[in-house]
Every structure is written in C-alpha cells, then in structure tokens.
Amino acid sequence: MAPAAPRCARAVIEYDGTAFAGSQRQSQQRTVQGEVEDALNKLTGERITVRFAGRTDAGVHATGQVMAFCLPTSARAGTIGWRELQRRLNAVLAPDVAVRGLRSAPRGFDPRRAAAARTYRYRIRQGGDRRPTDRHRTLEIPDRLDVAAMRAAASQMIGERDFAALGSDPHGRTVRRLMAIRIRHQASLIEIVVTGNAFLRRMVRSLVAILVAVGRGEVAVEEIEPMLDARQRALRGRAAPACGLTLERIRYPRTGEINDT
C-alpha cells in the first residue's frame, strides 16, 4: 500500500506588524513566519514550513496575507479537520497574529507564484488630527494634502513598466504591472489603495512617499513620468513609514476570488 500523501492547506492570516521584524523568518528576530511555524510545531510535534503570498517588512500589517503548508502523515494533527486546526492554532498564537480561514490546498500550491494580484492599503491622517488608538496602522502628519494632485499623479503610474525607481528585486527583475491606485478621502483620513500583479521591495511605501510629496507641493504631477523613467531611486530612496501599510487582499486566477478562502 502506498504511503498516505501529506495533507496540504492554504490559510488567510491577519497580523499587527508593529512588533514583528517582518513576515519572513529571520535569525534572532520575531517574525510572523516564526510565530506560525512555532505554533504548528506545538500542535503537531513536527517542524513545518509555511510559505507566504507576499513578503511584508518590519512594521507592515496584513488582513489578507495567504500562507500554505503541508502536514506530514506522522503529524499528531494529521487527522484533525481544518476548522478545528484553525481553532487550535488561534488558541496558541500570540494576540497580534490570527488565522482567519483555513482550507485544503493541492500539494505543491505556491501562494506567491499562483497569485494574480495583490492589494495594499496605506492610511494617512492629515492636518494634525491624532487618533491614539489608531496610531499603529495610520501615518499621522501635520500637513493638509492636495488630494486632487495626488490622484492626478497616481494616474501616471498605472500600467506595466520598469519600476526600479520605486524599489528593488533580488534578481534584478523590476518590471511590474500596477492595475489600480485609488485614493479615498474622508474628513482627515486619506487611504491609498494600490493593486498590482506583484511588488518590488518597498515599492508601495516609495509610491506613497511620492504621492505625499505631490500632495505637499514638493513634486509636480508633470515630474512623475520622468522620475519613473529615470530608473534611479526616486526622492533618494525615500519611503513612507511602515506603520500605515497593510497587505489587504490576494487574488488567485482560477476563481478570481479575493483570498479564495
């Protein structure tokens, strides 16, 4: 009789990135991957590796990060249903990370390579308006921004192009496709919602830094195209603080559903 195949899963997880050194495991650092893998180890007695749809930097949050992992056939949790495994994981995970959904996945499912699009949201509270209970996920600034100019600048960034001016890639492949940039404005709150097929390291935060500079009148809308075409780091590599950024959604092509949970 052939040995039983490992059970594989995909999950949507949420985390407050304030106290994490990023999503990927790092030596001597607290990371989301480390927390989840340690929780799986406690439940199964096995060392299980999880894979994420996207890498988030220190201080960046997520409400719709997707991860995948497989349970070895020898694992103590090998026969536990997915809902029960989700409940047990959340019981042992730290309060700043939680599994929002858990379901079966085909063996070999790669949440990063299979993703068709990712959506990030950046929150800015302008005009000196302070919200202490919201400060870990919102950038607070004293300025008032020109939202119309920011929208005009954002329209110049849509499409497929080389975005080396906004970020880096370990393999030097810097062409990405931005599908949409929506800027929502209500009272003191500005939200920049960015969707693309994939993102370079620090790309969204660099994009936000440019839009804020436009909103402050430091950069003209007409400067956006030349800035991107130059392929040198825009604004000398300036990036918006991590606290305002959240990885919100992942889309997969088979169903077109966001997060597909």
pLDDT classification of 88: cutoffs 50, 70, 90: very high
> Does residue 57 carry a catalytic annotation?
yes
**Where exactly does CATH 3.30.70.580 map onto the chain?**
7-104
Q: What is the mean pLDDT of residues 134-139?
A: 92
What is the C-alpha separation between 154 and 125, in angstroms, rounded? Answer: 19
Return the structure tokens found at 161: 């192009």
pLDDT classification of 78: cutoffs 50, 70, 90: low
84 Cβ neighbours under 8 A, 6+ residues apart:
none
DSSP 66-99: EEEEEE-TT-TTTTS-HHHHHHHHHHHS-TTEEE
- Candidates 3.65.10.10, 3.50.50.60, 3.30.420.40, 3.30.70.580; correct CATH number of 7-104? 3.30.70.580
Record the pTM: 0.92
**Where exactly does CATH 3.30.70.660 map onto the chain?**
117-251
**In the chain, pLDDT over 90 holds for what percent of residues?**
80
- The values of phi and psi at residue 198, to 5°, are -170, 165
pLDDT at 42 over 50: yes
pLDDT at 75: 56
Lowest mean pLDDT among 31-45, 72-86, 128-142: 72-86
Reported as type and span, the H/E element at residue 152 is helix 147-155
Which architecture, in CATH terms, is 117-251?
Answer: 2-Layer Sandwich (3.30)
pLDDT classification of 258: cutoffs 50, 70, 90: very low
Instruction: Name the amino acid, one letter, at 241.
Output: P
Q: What is the average pLDDT value for the chain, to the nearest integer?
A: 92
pLDDT classification of 149: cutoffs 50, 70, 90: very high
pLDDT at 203 over 50: yes
State the catalytic residue, choosing from 16, 57, 146, 260: 57
The 3-state DSSP class for residue 190 equals strand
What is the C-alpha separation between 82 and 65, in angstroms, rounded? Answer: 18
Reported as type and span, the H/E element at residue 14 is strand 7-15
- Output 30 or 237, whichever has higher pLDDT: 30
DSSP 203-260: HHHHHHHHHHHHHTTSS-GGGHHHHHHT-S-GGGG----GGGEEEEEEE-TTT--BTT
